[in-house]
Amino acid sequence: MATRRSHQKSRHGCSNCKRRRVKCDEKRPYCQNCTQRNDKCVYIAPGPFVFAGEPERSARSSAKTPSSAISSTEAGNSLNSYAPALEATTGAPPLNLEHMELELQWILHTHKIFARNEETRKVWEIPVLQEALHTPFLMHGIMAISALHLAHLRQNERQVEWLNIAIAHKSTALAIFSEQLHNIDKSNARAMMSFAGIAVVFSFASALYCSDSDDGPSLNALVDLLMLARGVQTVGSQAMEFLRHSNFAPLFNITEPGATIPDDVLSALDHLDDLNAQYGQKSGNHHPKSYERAIQTMRELAPFTFAEPTSLTVVGGWAIRASPEFLEGLKNREPFALVVLAHFCVFLHIIRENWCIGPWGRLILGEIVQILDSDWQRHIKWAVVQVLR
């Protein structure tokens, strides 16, 4: 007596084959039965994902090959190739693996460049990302800086691709962000402040990676950046009381890390204070209070640089607090303003290992040396020795 040949039960067949009670070959996006009958092939079950269409061979392969041997590139390619089929059979939108990779990059690495301690790191890691889930411009900002970070890390054939992705997200973010600048309230204050900070860091980094040589780090670019950074203060001040009592409060609780400032740094800053007082007596257009604030802020934030040589705290904090009078002095190339900026270049140079900063300090100081005459150059000898020699 002939025995009945067993067959594997179809678990992921299309709806037509299930209704007709016939075996479905489960080929996607259209099975053979529906193709021959010219029927619309619809799969209800999503199928066995990466190994759809070849279950037996995949099962044998998985028994021989440990999952750890599958590279992330292979996995990404498999999922990418499957996404259109999934959309065609279930109506679900395709997975945007590029966005997923950028969000993962933010969570694992990129957010850390904004932190000055563990408390602030935690804010940038998750709460900022949570704000971005319902604030498109912030999400685009996160994608932009994360893509730029990947362009820095992966200097291979995909670098140009990541740079283009970064620029596209930045452009979209700025367009939406600008529309809301005059309507800041509790509903968007956290997102607005977060994006303003990201925009400043992106501008520093993009000058290194996204621009032609003629548009890289320069004195003009730095003045523009300082003016942009001051916008962070403007954004934050409009809802400061709310922000200080929100889950973003750690960002405003600045506790000095207790690092020792080298004597030569203190002496250089003392010399600036003395020079500020002397210059104020000689020049009627000088604003001593504005320069005093710039020097004092450098002194207050210096410990963060010596506690963590790649911290952006001095860069961001000093830029945010720059007064309009000081910025105007820089725009007009006033000698004392350039002398103060030369000292700031030393801090930029100290944190040059930060991928967003690199040669900014050295390049800007080189320009300042070319602009100042010999009478003023003697006041930046300390900066020149620290950075250019």
- The answer to whether residue 3 scores a pLDDT higher than 70 is no
Tell whether the model's pLDDT for residue 5 goes beyond 60.
no
Residue whose tokens read 């009627």 = 284
List, for residues 259-280, the tens digit of each pLDDT value: 899 999 999 999 999 999 988 7
Among 85-99, 174-188, 332-346, which stretch is predicted with the lowest mean pLDDT? Answer: 85-99
Residue whose token pair is 């498999």: 78
Q: What is the DSSP string of 155-191?
A: -STTHHHHHHHHHHHHHHHHHHHHHTTT---TTTHHH
Neighbouring CB atoms inside 10 A of 97's CB total 14
Q: Which CATH number fits domain 11-47: 4.10.240.10, 3.30.230.10, 3.40.462.40, 3.10.110.10?
A: 4.10.240.10
Q: What six digits make up the tokens of 30?
A: 């259209």
CATH 4.10.240.10, the chain: domain bounds: 11-47
Lowest-confidence segment of 10-14, 98-102, 172-176, 246-250 by average pLDDT: 10-14
Mean local confidence (pLDDT), 109-131: 95
| pLDDT for the residue 44 | 55
pLDDT at 15 over 80: no
Interval 343-349 mean pLDDT: 97
Residue type, 348: L
Cα distance between residue 350 and residue 358, in whole Å = 10
The segment with the largest mean pLDDT, out of 221-225, 317-321, 347-351, is 347-351
pLDDT given at position 41:
74
> What is the C-alpha to C-alpha distance for residues 357 and 207, in angstroms, rounded to an integer?
9
* Signed CA dihedral, 215, 221, 224, 230: sign only: positive
pTM, full prediction: 0.73
Rounded to whole angstroms, how far apart are CA atoms 325 and 268? Answer: 22
Computed over every residue of the chain, the mean pLDDT equals: 83
Average the pLDDT over 332-352 and give the result: 96
For residue 217, give both structure tokens: 């780090």
* Cα angle 93, 95, 99; round to 5: 125
Contact of 167 with 181, CB cutoff 8 Å = no
What's the pLDDT at 158?
85
Q: Is the pLDDT of residue 354 over 90?
A: yes
Q: What is the pLDDT confidence band of residue 45, given thresholds at 50, 70 and 90?
A: very low
pLDDT computed for residue 12 by the predictor: 65
* Residue position matching structure tokens 């999922």: 79
d(CA 5, CA 193): 69
382 and 342 Cβ atoms separated by less than 8 Å: no
Q: At what angle do helices 313-320 and 288-307 cross, to 10 degrees?
A: 160
Rounded CA separation 37/318 (Å): 72
Whether residue 380 contacts residue 335, with contact meaning beta carbons closer than 8 Å, is answered with: no
